[in-house]
Amino acid sequence: MPNKPPPKTGIARSDAQSIHVREMNLVEELIGKVTFTEMMLLHFYGRMPTRAEARTLDVVLVTLMEHGITPSSIATRLIYHSAPDSLQSAVAAGLLGVGSTYIGTMERCAIYLDEILKGAERGIERARSIAEMHFRERTPVHGFGHPFHKPDDPRTQKMIDVALEEGVSGRHIEALRILSHEVDEVYGRHITINATGASAALLGEISIPLKIMRGVAVVSRSAGLVGHILEESGTPSAPHIWEAVNQAIPYQRFE
């Protein structure tokens, strides 16, 4: 239990008359004036976001919210079935799947982009080494490739277009394009930039720190998981999921 720099919080304060979040008056300045997305950015930035920032975050939040039947949504449905009086548990169980396997690739792609941007005129060179390293090690380039969406992920271009139209600087998007160009060269074929890669670039454009980038996906997926619970509450699938998994994983004597 080390006791180093004095702790403090600058998030919220309230008294009998007023509530402030990040020094904005909740009732006078926020309720009815800002969207959820703007409020979320106010929380992160400590200042009101610009229109470009909010619209760009909306692009990412809208894109990541829903992917149908996934490990996360299956977990949420099963836990809702097992503890229907505790909706928050079902959402939490699904969110625990927003981890390194899927969403972790967003952070790792963001690290590439930071690398490329730090390189200034040597950015292309750095992009080249990233692509070559993965080619050599036969590991996937994070943010690239998709099992179904070929040759291109339909979301990527749209996400980038909207952000640019809204007026973000375009530096991270440019870094992603540089990387994409080098990846295609090194691999000798076109590999799509997927929605996770595009998300990394857009969140970079609006200065979301790498440390909480995964949190944007967590927030977005939480809404989708509540939607799955709503469907599950009307048309329960959990017993069928259970049965299907039982069929899919046969028992075999342990050696």
Binding flag, residue 63, a second copy (CB under 8 A): yes
Residues 107-136 that bind a second copy (CB under 8 A): none
Binding flag, residue 139, a second copy (CB under 8 A): no
CA dist 123 and 129 (Å) reads: 10
The CA–CA distances, whole Å, from 140 to 118, 178, 186 equal 22, 17, 13
Of residues 60, 62, 65, 87, the one with CA closest to residue 199: 60
Binding flag, residue 171, a second copy (CB under 8 A): no
Which residues are CB-contacts of 106 (< 8 A; sequence separation ≥ 6)? Answer: 142, 143, 196, 197, 199, 200, 203, 213, 214, 217
Binding flag, residue 91, a second copy (CB under 8 A): yes
Work out how close the CB of 187 gets to a second copy at its nearest, in angstroms, rounded to a whole number: 19
What is the torsion angle, in degrees rounded to the nearest 10, for the CA atoms of residue 120, residue 46, residue 200 and residue 109? Answer: 60
Stretch that binds a second copy, among 75-83, 114-122, 128-136, 183-191 (CB under 8 A): 75-83
- Residue of the chain from 140, 161, 185, 207 that contacts a second copy (CB under 8 A): 161
Angle at which helix 104-118 crosses helix 210-234, to 10 degrees, equals 150
Work out how close the CB of 199 gets to a second copy at its nearest, in angstroms, rounded to a whole number: 11
Size of residue set near a second copy by CB under 8 A: 127
| CB closer to a second copy, 139 vs 247 | 247
| CB closer to a second copy, 159 vs 173 | 159
| CB closer to a second copy, 152 vs 174 | 152
| CB closer to a second copy, 47 vs 118 | 47
- Residue of the chain from 52, 111, 117, 162 that contacts a second copy (CB under 8 A): 162
Residues 199-228 that bind a second copy (CB under 8 A): 209, 211-212, 214-216, 218-220, 222-224, 226-228
Per-residue binding letters, 31-60, with a second copy (x by CB under 8 A): xx-xxxx-xx--xx-x--------x-xxx-
| CB closer to a second copy, 99 vs 185 | 99
C-alpha of 8 from chain center: 28
Stretch that binds a second copy, among 110-118, 130-138, 171-179, 238-246 (CB under 8 A): 238-246
Binding flag, residue 188, a second copy (CB under 8 A): no
Strand order in the sheet with 19-21: 12-14, 19-21, 24-25
The CA–CA distances, whole Å, from 105 to 8, 36, 52, 100, 162 equal 32, 26, 25, 7, 22
Q: Quick check: 156 and 193 in contact, CB under 8 A?
A: yes
Name the residue type at position 195.
A
Of residues 33, 45, 11, 199, the one with CA closest to residue 110: 199
Work out how close the CB of 205 gets to a second copy at its nearest, in angstroms, rounded to a whole number: 14
CA dist 61 and 51 (Å) reads: 15
